[in-house]
Amino acid sequence: MVERKTVEDFKKAEKGAVISIAAYIVVSAIKLIIGKIAKSEALTADGLNNFTDVISSLTVLIGLYLAQKPADHDHRYGHWKIENLASLITSLIMLLVGGEVIFSSLKNLIEQKTQKPDWLAGVVGAVSGAFMLLIYYINQKLARQANSSALKAAAKDNLSDALTSWGTAIAILAATIGYSWLDGVTALVVGIIILKTALGIFKESAFDLSDGFDDEKLNQYIVAINDIDGVGGIKSIKGRSLGSNIYLDLIIAIDPEMSVRKSHEITQKIQQMLEEKFHIYDVDIHVEPDE
């Protein structure tokens, strides 16, 4: 049957958000402190990136909490879309930080304010990269189990941070042996990676919030529905995502001489098939005569 979200699912997603918050607090604090001590612009930029992830993860946690609220007279479909909104806010925070890192890095490179960093900064970057990769695997697993779009976005950010930390470590270590300009260039690259990840999350969350839906998925549904005996055709099909849940509005054509009972049985078959095969959360089916 359809994988409807349970309290346990939300608890798993919340667990992932809490793990991210704790991890980012530790990693960002270490990077910012060591970045200043070791005079590494790249590690400091990476630390700022992780610090904003603390705020982003808090946003995800709040979003998951609010999304659990049951439907009321103002929100007949529930509060699922708050998950999408949490992802959107996460992307906006990342966009601001990425822009600031790029601006600061370009300014320092133009003004040639580059310094030779200490090797300790590279070691911190490499270790934090391995740590964030572990957090990514944990959150990716929890996101799949809880079917949470917000936690999936957070996991993508975890992976981006791991790769960024390793790239930062390599550049810092290269800068310690005479290529000091690499530290500033790496800070610039970190900013670009932050922006790229943010734009990807923004695009996905904005698409869902504006009721966009994948045409390829709709085509899969159409083929499966048309294979059911008694369906004369599909006059209209619309899909939308509320959080990680999919809702469909469907108009099918049925033989006008068919009894109400028989047509109702067909709609039940359609609903059961969509739930079992595609994990559709809810389907609203309207029947019209096949003319």
For the stretch 23-59, pLDDT in tens is 889 988 998 999 888 888 778 888 887 887 787 777 7
* 2 has pLDDT over 50: no
Return the number of other C-beta atoms located less than 10 Å from residue 84's C-beta. Answer: 25
Cβ–Cβ under 8 Å, residues 19 and 138? yes
- Parse the chain into domains and list their residue ranges: 7-209, 215-289
For 183, the token pair is 């530290």
Between the CA of residue 110 and those of 171, 181, 188, what are the distances in Å? 19, 11, 12
In degrees and rounded to multiples of 5, residue 202 shows phi and psi of: -60, -45
The whole-model pTM stands at 0.65
* 286 has pLDDT over 70: yes
Name the CATH topology of 215-289: Alpha-Beta Plaits (3.30.70)
pLDDT band at 113 (very low <50, low <70, confident <90, very high): low
* 4 has pLDDT over 60: no
Between the CA of residue 144 and those of 10, 18, 108, 153, what are the distances in Å? 12, 17, 42, 12
81-99 mean pLDDT: 81
Can you tell me the distance from the alpha carbon of 145 to that of 108, in angstroms, rounded to the nearest whole number?
44
187-214 pLDDT per residue, tens: 788 788 878 888 888 888 888 888 888 8
For 210, the token pair is 């504006």
**Between 250 and 241, the higher pLDDT residue:** 250
Topology match between the domains 7-209 and 215-289: no
What pLDDT was estimated at residue 161?
A: 82
For 7-209, which CATH class?
Answer: mainly alpha
Q: What is the mean pLDDT of the chain?
A: 81
